[in-house]
Amino acid sequence: METKFDIIVIGSGPGGYASAIRCSQLGYKTAIVEKYKALGGTCTNVGCIPTKALLDSTEHYHQAATKFATHGIITGKLSLDFPQFIKRKTEVVEQNIAGLNFLMKKNKIEVFEGFASFLSDKEISVKATDGTSSTISATYYIIATGSKPATIPGVEIDKKRIITSTEALSLPDKPKSMVIIGGGVIGVEMASIYARIGVEVTIIEYFDSLIPTMDKDLGKELKKIFSKQNIKILLSHKVQSAKNNGKNATVNFLDASNNPQEITADYCLVAVGRKPYTEGLCLENTAIELDSKGRIVTNEKLQTKAENIYAIGDVVAGAMLAHKAEEEGIFVAETINGQKPHINYKLIPGVVYTWPEVASVGYTEEELKEKGIEYRVGKFPFSASARARAALEKDGFSKVLSDPKYGELLGMHIIGPRAADLIAQGVIGMEYEVTDEDMFRISYAHPTYSETLKEAYMIASGQGAINI
């Protein structure tokens, strides 16, 4: 195998593989180093892809259990084959890994399996699983090592009864109960997966809202929807400790009035966020610096203190999103190439794949108020959508925030069917500074979910809605 390259990418998650492919497309001799046998990083193996596979499976089950009869579909006695449920998820992951392997070969990217450690700014050592090491070098390096699950004081993850989302994706049997610490994106997605197949789920959230980093209206609506799905939600509660009892786990916490409480469930799933993963990289052998949160310090070009080394994705500041890492990976490849790419971080959408889905881009109402920016609100419920009524998908709303003087879009927040796809319209509108009036004067197919956005634009612009 070759030992000298133009660019070496460390980590093969969405940021890493997108970066490596773009580097190769631009004519650079490129290699990628991955410590696991499978390419794809957290997203492909234990994150985005397997969770969406399980979310889709459980939504089918939930639809059969709660809505099929209304549609006139009689299924008889409904049951869940839990091993097959998990097996399908695994097959989806394997298909994606196979696709990545193909892309590496197609783009002539050398793949090194092993743990990368910097020997200097110019060389790295790659230690394989069999203990052997090799030294390879490059003109440039791109660090894309991602993140790993975080925890809180008093809660030690043992991967048996006190678990993370990684273990929750491959449980041996369907549990009867689960307590989830954290009501952010990971917590609510895992709650959806298990509650919809009949698991008794309790979410304990420190803040006063679910998905607290998103627009508050989204968290309020999601709480209503979850309550209808029999998910117990404890907001403004502070977890103190968690204990593995052998066959179950007990979580001790303070309620909203600071009274001590406890709850016991088959599993305690810790979903309090993730932290940058830089362990073993031997960054001390380079000029690279870390900030107080363990993230690699970079400039506006995502260049570290070592000028030939860049860093992207979860290992640097910003939202921990797969598509953010992809954008950064391509950005760095083109920057090295002498181009002048651009990323507008405010216009990277956030999505929660519960059902209904939740999606957001741009400013939240809370951010606009905090900054003293004037705005108008256009909000339209899916219950008034003909398409949503036909599909029995009436929960949620589309919400648009716009500038009162010029009508420029400032933010879009959706909770409803296919929100993850609808949000792209907001990204386009804000990227090209389109106005709310521009957006409602174009033609929308009828009946569609996107018409809720047309109505929201009309309301925000002061025109008023037309009931659909």
* 340 pLDDT above the threshold of 70: yes
Q: Has residue 288 been placed in a domain?
A: yes
What is the per-residue pLDDT for 395?
98
Q: Has residue 328 been placed in a domain?
A: yes
- pLDDT tens per residue, range 391-434: 999 999 999 999 999 999 999 999 999 999 999 999 999 999 99
Mean pLDDT on 247-271? 98
CB atoms within 10 A of CB 432: 9
**Is 143 found in the same domain as 38?**
yes
Enumerate residues 6+ apart whose C-beta is below 8 A from 275.
147, 148, 149, 150, 293, 294
Q: Which contacts of 237-240 are long-range, i.e. CB under 8 A and separated by 24 or more positions?
A: 237/204, 237/205, 237/206, 237/261, 238/206, 239/152, 239/154, 239/155, 239/181, 239/204, 239/206, 240/154
**Is 121 found in the same domain as 200?**
no
Last residue of one domain, picked from the residues 219, 250, 272: 272
Q: Has residue 467 been placed in a domain?
A: no
Mean pLDDT on 227-240? 97
* 255 pLDDT above the threshold of 70: yes
**Is 191 found in the same domain as 131?**
no
Q: Has residue 447 been placed in a domain?
A: yes
CB atoms within 10 A of CB 262: 12
> Which amino acids are annotated catalytic?
446
Tell me: is residue 416 an annotated ligand-binding position.
no
Tell me: is residue 147 an annotated ligand-binding position.
yes
Mean pLDDT on 318-322? 97
Mean pLDDT on 318-333? 98
* 466 pLDDT above the threshold of 90: no
Last residue of one domain, picked from the residues 247, 272, 297: 272
Enumerate residues 6+ apart whose C-beta is below 8 A from 231.
191, 195, 201, 202, 203
**Is 139 found in the same domain as 27?**
yes
Tell me: is residue 452 an annotated ligand-binding position.
no
Domain limits for position 133: 3-148+275-337
Tell me: is residue 40 an annotated ligand-binding position.
no
**Is 135 found in the same domain as 9?**
yes
What is the per-residue pLDDT for 1?
73
What is the per-residue pLDDT for 64?
95
3 by Cβ neighbours in 10 Å (0-12 / 13-18 / 19+) ranks as middle
**Is 7 found in the same domain as 44?**
yes
> How far is 167 from 287, CA to CA, in rounded Å?
36
Band (467; pLDDT cuts 50, 70, 90): low
**Is 232 found in the same domain as 110?**
no
**Is 137 found in the same domain as 26?**
yes
- pLDDT tens per residue, range 104-153: 999 999 999 999 999 999 999 999 988 999 999 999 999 999 999 999 99
Find out whether 439 and 457 touch, Cβ atoms under 8 Å: yes
CATH code assigned at 357: 3.30.390.30
**Is 91 found in the same domain as 9?**
yes
User: Which residue would you say has higher pLDDT here, 77 or 364?
Assistant: 364
Tell me: is residue 186 an annotated ligand-binding position.
yes
Instruction: Give the count of alpha carbons within 13 A of 83, CB side only.
Output: 0
Find out whether 362 and 48 touch, Cβ atoms under 8 Å: no
Q: Percentage of the chain surpassing pLDDT 90?
A: 97
Q: Has residue 357 been placed in a domain?
A: yes
Tell me: is residue 320 an annotated ligand-binding position.
yes
Q: Give SS3 for 83.
A: helix
Band (76; pLDDT cuts 50, 70, 90): confident
| Total count of domains within the chain | 3
What is the per-residue pLDDT for 185?
98
> How far is 128 from 294, CA to CA, in rounded Å?
26
Q: Has residue 441 been placed in a domain?
A: yes
Find out whether 222 and 205 touch, Cβ atoms under 8 Å: no
**Is 29 found in the same domain as 142?**
yes
* 197 pLDDT above the threshold of 70: yes
Give this prediction's pTM. 0.96
What is the per-residue pLDDT for 245?
98
Tell me: is residue 361 an annotated ligand-binding position.
no
**Is 323 found in the same domain as 304?**
yes
Mean pLDDT on 289-306? 98
Strands (E), 38-81: none
Mean pLDDT on 230-246? 98
> How far is 10 from 127, CA to CA, in rounded Å?
13
Mean pLDDT on 184-204? 98
Band (79; pLDDT cuts 50, 70, 90): very high
Tell me: is residue 426 an annotated ligand-binding position.
no
Q: What DSSP string describes 303-321?
A: B-SSTTEEE-GGGSSS---
**Is 297 found in the same domain as 253?**
no
Q: Has residue 466 been placed in a domain?
A: no
Q: What is the average pLDDT score of the chain?
A: 97
Q: Give SS3 for 266.
A: coil
Q: Tally the residues of the chain.
A: 468
Tell me: is residue 347 an annotated ligand-binding position.
no
Band (465; pLDDT cuts 50, 70, 90): confident
Q: Has residue 342 been placed in a domain?
A: no
CATH code assigned at 124: 3.50.50.60
Last residue of one domain, picked from the residues 245, 272, 299: 272
